[in-house]
Structure formats: structure tokens, C-alpha cells
Structure 1
Amino acid sequence: MEWKGRRQSDNIEDRRGDPSGGLGGRNPFGRGGGFSFPSGGGVGRRGGGLSIGTIIFLVVIYLIFKAMGVDLLQVMEGGGSMDGAGGSGYSQSESSPQAPANDEMTAFVRTVLAETEDTWHGIFQSQGKDYEEPRLVLFSGQTQSACGFASAATGPFYCPGDHKVYLDTAFFQELSDRFGASGDFAEAYVIAHEVGHHVQNLLGILPKFNEARQRMSEADANKMSVRVELQADCFAGIWGKFTQQKGILDAGDLEEALNAAQQIGDDTLQKRSQGYVVPESFNHGTSAQRMRWFKRGFDSGQLSACDTFSNPI
């Protein structure tokens, strides 16, 4: 992909190295949460509460720090200092988005995001609509979103609550080393897929899905989630089509994206991790489905070709 020297997006929020990243939150993959690019891991749901022994232990720790002049409650809320000397201890309320680092990976992400902006502005304008550009958050290890707390194990995801795409760029190395899906266009596909979820949000598709799945069983919600994810793959394919028309794709780029789609299909991931598949637990689609819908968007370049809700998948 000939991406160097092209326009770069300013809609980047760089949180790498942000010490507030570990402040808690809920699993973004609960009902109504974010939409992730599968990493083979994921954030598990925690069950149960704190034991009496744990509560007693926490109270003792709190009293010890209180005697030392440190109010842990204020620190946790971002209003106190842990340095005990009246210094300017870090608080989340004092943080602000950092300027994106000037490195090649950041430049690549900014360029791909800019290309998605150009594509979707054009498509929305052709329909008499305005395209609202999403922001992309670069983080390292863990971060907080309007959908809750997420770690690198979550994989890239889109949060409809704040209209942001979240990306730990270390995932690109994992995509290559662990999944065997290397190449810049494979990485671009990841970004375009999450931007595809943003497009779904603007079109009202995600709000309807989030409302409907509150009333669904887990099995039915998984089936509907597959259709949502395959449509995001198809939207990523549309972006790929417009990128091809600009003449900036290299030979083999399409194959890179299709290989990435194949490697992160639910069936392939489950076979790799546990040796067998459980179809009723699929929530992103099989390898064949993901490849087919990306290619459908790529071949057509049309939103109408991406109706995964009315057509067989």
C-alpha cells in the first residue's frame, strides 16, 4: 500500500504512556458495549463480590494510609497526591490528550484514518448526508472508554458511546506473529473494520442492535452480532475499493486483507485455541464469511451490497 506522503488525519488521541490507563471500569463487551476486532483473547466477565476477609484487609490498608496523611479515596477519584509532600501527584482530571508521536506506525494509522475519512465523506455526501469523523485512540496496554475499561487482550474496538476507535498498535505485531496475517493492508483492514462500526452507528444500525439485544438470549444475540460484524467487514471492503481506485494499492494487498479476514474467523480462532469449534458461540463470523463479505464490499463499492440483515450470510 503506497501510503507515505499522503494526508494524515488529526483525529488521533495518543494515550500511550498515560498513567491513568489502569483506572477501572466495566467490561466493554457487556450488553450495549463496544465492538471489537477479535484478538483470540478478550476480557472475561467477573462474577461475585468481595469476601469479608478482603473487605477487612482493604479497610486496614485504608486506615494505614490515612494515618500517613494519604486519603486513598481522594487519590482514586483523581483528587489527591501519593507523594506525601504536597507535590502535584497525577490525577486523571488533570490529564489531556497527548499529541500523537511522530513515528512511522503513528503516521501509518493517521494516513489510513484520513483515507477512511475521504471515502466516507464522499459516500455520505452522495446521499445528502454529513459524515461525522470518528477519533482514534492509540493506547498501550490498557485504557478507559465510554464503553468501559479495556486492555490489549480486548483487541481493537469501537465504542459507540464516545464515537471513538481504540487501538493498541502492539496488536499489529500480534496479527503478524500470532495469526500469520502480515502486511500494511492487513493492518489497514483492521482500522477500516472498526471505522465500519462507526458508519453503522451513524446510520442507526448499532443503536437498533444494542436496543434489540437487551431482549435477546445470548445465542440470538451472537447470531445478530455476526451480521453486524460481517457488515463492518463489507464496509471495510468498500473503503478498500475506493483506495484501489486511487491507485495506491500494491500487488498482493487484497490478498493480505483476505488472509487477515481468514485468520480471525471465529472457527479458525477456536480451532487454534481449543482444537474444536462451537458454532453457537460465534459472534464475528467464520473465516469464509468474513472473507466473502469483505470481498463483496471491495467488488461492489456500494452500501446496498452490504445488507447482511436481509441476505443469507
Structure 2
Amino acid sequence: MLKLVEQKSSQNLYDYYRENLVGKVPYYHQVSKKSWENSFFEDTDYDGDKKYGELITYCNLTVGGTVNGFIQFGCSNYGYDEAGEKSFEHSAGMIRQIHFLHNQKAVGEELLATAFRYFQEMELDVSYAFFHALGMTCTGNHGKLHESMSEVAELLLDNGCHVEHTNVYYAKKLDSAKEITAFSLSMKSAEKTENQTQMFTFYEGEQAVGQANVAYLPENAIAYLRWIFMLDEHQNKGFGTEALQLLFAFLSHEGMTELHTDTADNNMRAQHVYEKNGFEHLGITRSYMFS
């Protein structure tokens, strides 16, 4: 039975999330039902902008009401231009997520067909699945599909999509972070925003040499490193490692136990720095495109 989930408080979907997704991939975190609902149905980004102009949820139910699988799709409220900047002139069709129980590919096919009909009705030339920045807030906005979900990847590839972009996912335990006393860099932090992000600026003496931005995930002692950079003229000086170590100490002092992040699979420099500084490689994640 295929049923449109119209309620904003579906206990069955929340149960599916907790029982079949939390723990299977590193960025599906255990959160309260209220936080999950806000993230799942009415999500906004860290700028406060609503992510989707329309977001529709279908699920496949047993006779007893148990969820066999679900799909979310619709039109994004914005997209990204050629420079990678957010643009409200670049909305697109999106399959935000599709999941189904193991060995239930027929359920996945049925769910995916509903999204394709929607895209045809909307006359969308290009659409995406598991678009990175339009994921749920409680995942740190990491919306890509983890490699452990091979049955979902197979379904997408079998139905005319191709891999758009690939990332490497990392996490770092912070319980052993130490105070820093003898580094070339110092760090200043801005006030945490109402959207739970915080900016950090790194200095050599009085000169700013780089910045980082961290998001704090709801109801978890987990932070997500959204980005970090050193200015071009200050690269290859070991400052990236020093900046990370300063962040580790600060976040540990603030009660965070883990720092998560991701980077493009071809960004070998970033991967080297993360792994050198104790981040654990937790798998490959991918976004997909239909055209």
C-alpha cells in the first residue's frame, strides 16, 4: 500500500529512522521526535532560508502500518550557481532521500516512480538525488548517500541516474583533546548564531591567516566542521594542523565529544590533513543526477 504522509508528526516514519537509519551511517544521529520532525519536514539552512519550496513524503506501509520504505521529493527553494554560491534562481527537482528495507527493491521501485511522475508533471529537465547541502539539519546538512546503502545506490543507477559528486566522510573523537600552549597561531571565536553555527578566525600575531565554521548538531555533543581554510599565502606552513588542534581544544572544552566533517574525494590535501590529525575515514558518500 502506498500512502502519502500528510501529518507533520508521523510516529511510524520516526520509528523507521531510529530503527533502520540511526547507526547504519555516521551522520544519522539519534535525536528527539520534535527535533527530527523539524529537520525532516520543515528544515531551514544555517542562513535561516527554507530549503524546499515543496517537499512531499510518501511511504510504503504494511497492513499493520509498519513502514517498508519512504521517499521525500520536491522542488528546492534554491540551488547553486557556477561559482558555488547559493542562488534562488537555480531551484531544481530533488529526491531528498529514499530508503527501503533490505531485499525490498520492489518497494523502492514503486516509491521512485512517484518521484519521476512528479518531475514529469513539473516539466523538470534536471533533477538530483541526495543533494549534499539540502540534507537534514540533524545530519549536519550532509545529504549525500552513504556507501553502506548499496541497495539504494543500485536502484538509482538502474533507473537512469549517474553519480554527480563523491565525498569522503570523517569523524574525530574529542575526549582526549588537550589545551594548546605553544603554537604559532591563536584563535578567536565569534558568538554562536541563533542557527547554531560559530565562526572561528586564526591569527599569526595580529594577522588573520584563515577561518573555519562549525555547526552544532541538535541534542548531541557533536559538532560539524562545515569548512576550514588557510589563505593562499599562508598555506604549506603547518597552519592547517595548528588550526584544527585549536578547534579540537575549544570544542572539547565546550563539551563536544565528536567533530564530523567531509571533503571531496579528489581533495587529497584535505584528506591528508584530516587523517594526520586523527580523523577516522567513515566511508564514501555520493550525490546523483537525473537528466
The TM tier, using the shorter chain, reads: under 0.3
The structure carrying a bigger helix percent of its residues is: 1
Higher relative contact order (CA 8 A, sep 6+): 1
Q: Which is greater in Rg?
A: 1
With the length of structure 1 as denominator, give the TM-score of the two structures.
Answer: 0.25
